[in-house]
Protein backbone atom coordinates (compact mmCIF):
# COMPACT_ATOMS: atom_id res chain seq x y z
CA UNK A 1 0.00 0.00 0.00
CA UNK A 2 2.83 2.40 0.81
CA UNK A 3 4.34 1.80 -2.64
CA UNK A 4 1.07 2.73 -4.34
CA UNK A 5 0.71 5.84 -2.19
CA UNK A 6 4.28 6.93 -2.90
CA UNK A 7 3.78 6.35 -6.62
CA UNK A 8 0.57 8.40 -6.55
CA UNK A 9 2.37 11.26 -4.78
CA UNK A 10 5.25 11.18 -7.28
CA UNK A 11 2.84 11.10 -10.23
CA UNK A 12 0.80 13.98 -8.80
CA UNK A 13 3.96 16.03 -8.27
CA UNK A 14 5.14 15.33 -11.81
CA UNK A 15 1.81 16.44 -13.24
CA UNK A 16 1.72 19.71 -11.28
CA UNK A 17 5.34 20.80 -11.79
CA UNK A 18 5.59 23.53 -14.44
CA UNK A 19 7.57 22.64 -17.53
CA UNK A 20 8.67 24.88 -20.36
CA UNK A 21 5.91 24.90 -22.95
CA UNK A 22 6.96 24.15 -26.49
CA UNK A 23 5.77 26.53 -29.16
CA UNK A 24 3.57 25.26 -31.96
CA UNK A 25 5.92 26.55 -34.67
CA UNK A 26 6.93 23.69 -36.95
CA UNK A 27 10.57 22.70 -37.26
CA UNK A 28 11.67 23.00 -40.90
CA UNK A 29 12.45 19.68 -42.59
CA UNK A 30 15.79 18.38 -43.81
CA UNK A 31 16.16 19.24 -47.49
CA UNK A 32 14.05 22.40 -47.23
CA UNK A 33 15.57 25.83 -47.73
CA UNK A 34 16.71 27.25 -44.39
CA UNK A 35 14.50 30.15 -43.28
CA UNK A 36 16.25 33.42 -44.02
CA UNK A 37 17.14 35.83 -41.22
CA UNK A 38 18.61 39.24 -40.59
CA UNK A 39 19.66 39.79 -36.97
CA UNK A 40 22.06 41.95 -34.96
CA UNK A 41 25.27 40.26 -33.80
CA UNK A 42 27.33 40.60 -30.64
CA UNK A 43 29.50 42.95 -32.76
CA UNK A 44 26.51 45.26 -33.38
CA UNK A 45 26.38 44.34 -37.09
CA UNK A 46 23.48 42.97 -39.13
CA UNK A 47 24.04 39.33 -40.09
CA UNK A 48 22.00 37.50 -42.74
CA UNK A 49 21.93 33.85 -43.71
CA UNK A 50 23.06 34.88 -47.22
CA UNK A 51 26.33 36.16 -45.67
CA UNK A 52 27.34 32.50 -45.32
CA UNK A 53 26.60 31.34 -48.88
CA UNK A 54 29.18 28.73 -49.88
CA UNK A 55 29.83 27.69 -46.27
CA UNK A 56 28.27 25.16 -43.94
CA UNK A 57 26.42 26.88 -41.09
CA UNK A 58 25.88 25.44 -37.64
CA UNK A 59 22.92 27.56 -36.54
CA UNK A 60 22.29 26.78 -32.90
CA UNK A 61 19.50 28.17 -30.75
CA UNK A 62 19.93 28.37 -26.99
CA UNK A 63 17.84 29.76 -24.12
CA UNK A 64 20.00 32.30 -22.27
CA UNK A 65 23.47 33.85 -22.02
CA UNK A 66 25.45 33.17 -18.83
CA UNK A 67 23.54 30.01 -17.83
CA UNK A 68 25.36 26.75 -17.18
CA UNK A 69 24.10 24.63 -20.10
CA UNK A 70 24.36 27.47 -22.60
CA UNK A 71 27.88 28.34 -21.42
CA UNK A 72 28.97 24.70 -21.69
CA UNK A 73 27.56 24.40 -25.20
CA UNK A 74 29.27 27.64 -26.29
CA UNK A 75 32.61 26.59 -24.76
CA UNK A 76 32.49 23.28 -26.63
CA UNK A 77 31.81 25.02 -29.95
CA UNK A 78 34.69 27.42 -29.15
CA UNK A 79 36.99 24.49 -28.26
CA UNK A 80 36.24 22.88 -31.65
CA UNK A 81 36.22 26.10 -33.69
CA UNK A 82 39.41 25.23 -35.63
CA UNK A 83 37.86 21.89 -36.67
CA UNK A 84 34.75 23.70 -37.93
CA UNK A 85 36.92 26.22 -39.80
CA UNK A 86 38.75 23.29 -41.43
CA UNK A 87 35.39 21.98 -42.67
CA UNK A 88 34.36 25.39 -44.09
CA UNK A 89 31.70 25.74 -41.39
CA UNK A 90 30.61 28.80 -39.40
CA UNK A 91 29.17 28.57 -35.89
CA UNK A 92 26.29 30.97 -35.27
CA UNK A 93 24.33 31.09 -32.00
CA UNK A 94 20.87 32.63 -31.60
CA UNK A 95 18.90 33.56 -28.50
CA UNK A 96 16.40 36.23 -27.48
CA UNK A 97 19.09 38.00 -25.42
CA UNK A 98 20.18 41.47 -26.55
CA UNK A 99 23.22 42.09 -28.75
CA UNK A 100 24.81 43.80 -25.73
CA UNK A 101 24.26 40.70 -23.58
CA UNK A 102 25.84 38.61 -26.34
CA UNK A 103 28.81 40.99 -26.48
CA UNK A 104 29.34 40.66 -22.72
CA UNK A 105 28.88 36.86 -22.87
CA UNK A 106 31.46 36.52 -25.67
CA UNK A 107 33.94 38.75 -23.82
CA UNK A 108 33.53 36.94 -20.49
CA UNK A 109 33.64 33.43 -21.99
CA UNK A 110 36.25 34.03 -24.72
CA UNK A 111 33.92 33.19 -27.61
CA UNK A 112 35.14 33.97 -31.12
CA UNK A 113 32.02 33.25 -33.15
CA UNK A 114 28.85 35.23 -33.76
CA UNK A 115 25.90 35.30 -31.44
CA UNK A 116 22.74 36.84 -32.86
CA UNK A 117 19.99 38.66 -31.00
CA UNK A 118 16.42 37.56 -31.77
CA UNK A 119 14.55 39.78 -29.27
CA UNK A 120 11.06 39.12 -30.62
CA UNK A 121 11.80 35.40 -31.19
CA UNK A 122 10.72 35.70 -34.85
CA UNK A 123 13.69 33.75 -36.23
CA UNK A 124 13.48 31.23 -33.40
CA UNK A 125 9.80 30.78 -34.35
CA UNK A 126 10.66 30.33 -38.05
CA UNK A 127 12.95 27.48 -37.03
CA UNK A 128 10.41 25.94 -34.64
CA UNK A 129 12.76 26.74 -31.78
CA UNK A 130 10.71 28.73 -29.29
CA UNK A 131 9.67 27.77 -25.81
CA UNK A 132 7.93 29.63 -23.05
CA UNK A 133 9.49 29.72 -19.60
CA UNK A 134 8.02 31.67 -16.67
CA UNK A 135 5.88 33.71 -19.06
CA UNK A 136 8.75 34.66 -21.37
CA UNK A 137 9.59 33.41 -24.85
CA UNK A 138 13.06 31.88 -25.08
CA UNK A 139 14.89 30.10 -27.86
CA UNK A 140 14.70 26.32 -27.46
CA UNK A 141 17.93 24.33 -27.58
CA UNK A 142 17.88 23.14 -31.21
CA UNK A 143 20.55 23.15 -33.93
CA UNK A 144 20.30 23.31 -37.71
CA UNK A 145 23.13 22.27 -39.98
CA UNK A 146 22.74 24.27 -43.20
CA UNK A 147 24.62 23.22 -46.33
CA UNK A 148 26.59 25.66 -48.52
CA UNK A 149 23.58 26.12 -50.83
CA UNK A 150 21.29 27.20 -47.96
CA UNK A 151 19.35 23.95 -47.48
CA UNK A 152 18.85 22.17 -44.17
CA UNK A 153 21.15 19.15 -44.04
CA UNK A 154 20.47 18.03 -40.45
CA UNK A 155 18.16 19.06 -37.60
CA UNK A 156 18.84 18.47 -33.91
CA UNK A 157 16.09 19.03 -31.33
CA UNK A 158 16.37 18.76 -27.57
CA UNK A 159 20.16 19.07 -27.72
CA UNK A 160 22.39 17.87 -24.86
CA UNK A 161 25.01 20.63 -24.45
CA UNK A 162 27.88 18.47 -23.15
CA UNK A 163 28.23 16.28 -26.25
CA UNK A 164 26.61 18.38 -28.95
CA UNK A 165 29.67 19.89 -30.64
CA UNK A 166 31.22 16.44 -31.19
CA UNK A 167 27.87 15.18 -32.51
CA UNK A 168 27.65 18.02 -35.05
CA UNK A 169 31.30 17.61 -36.10
CA UNK A 170 30.77 13.89 -36.75
CA UNK A 171 27.71 14.63 -38.89
CA UNK A 172 29.50 17.40 -40.74
CA UNK A 173 32.45 15.12 -41.47
CA UNK A 174 30.04 12.51 -42.86
CA UNK A 175 28.15 15.04 -44.97
CA UNK A 176 31.37 16.56 -46.33
CA UNK A 177 32.48 13.12 -47.57
CA UNK A 178 29.16 12.66 -49.41
CA UNK A 179 29.36 15.99 -51.23
Assign 176 a pLDDT band (cuts: 50, 70, 90).
confident
Does 10 reside within a domain? no
Total of domains in the chain:
1
- The catalytic site residues sit at 70
Does 114 reside within a domain? yes
Distance CA 140, CA 134 (A): 14
Beta bridge partners of 147: none
Distance CA 39, CA 163 (A): 27
Q: For the chain, what percent of residues have pLDDT higher than 70? A: 84
The CATH number assigned to the domain holding 110 equals 3.40.30.10
Does 142 reside within a domain? yes
Distance CA 47, CA 117 (A): 10
Contact 60, 91 (CB under 8 A): yes
Domain residues for the domain of 124 are 31-178
Does 5 reside within a domain? no
CA distances from 23 to 27, 29, 33, 74, 138 (A): 10, 16, 21, 24, 10
Does 1 reside within a domain? no
Task: Between 3 and 177, name the one with better pLDDT.
Answer: 177
Does 6 reside within a domain? no
Region of poorest pLDDT, from 47-51, 143-147, 150-154, 156-160 = 156-160
- Give me the mean pLDDT over the 11-22 stretch: 34
Name every residue whose Cβ is closer than 8 Å to that of residue 131 and which is 6 or more positions away in sequence. Answer: 20, 21, 22, 23, 63, 137, 138, 139, 140
Does 100 reside within a domain? yes
CA distances from 143 to 59, 72, 104, 107, 157 (A): 6, 15, 23, 23, 7
Distance CA 125, CA 140 (A): 10
Indicate the average pLDDT of the chain. 87
Question: Model pTM?
Answer: 0.84
Distance CA 19, CA 102 (A): 26
Amino acid sequence: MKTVSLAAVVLAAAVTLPAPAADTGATPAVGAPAPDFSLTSNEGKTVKLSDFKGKWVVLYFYPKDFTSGCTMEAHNFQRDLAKYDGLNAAIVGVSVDSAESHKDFCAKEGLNFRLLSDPDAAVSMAYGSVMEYQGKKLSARNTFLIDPTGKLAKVYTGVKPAEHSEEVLAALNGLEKKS
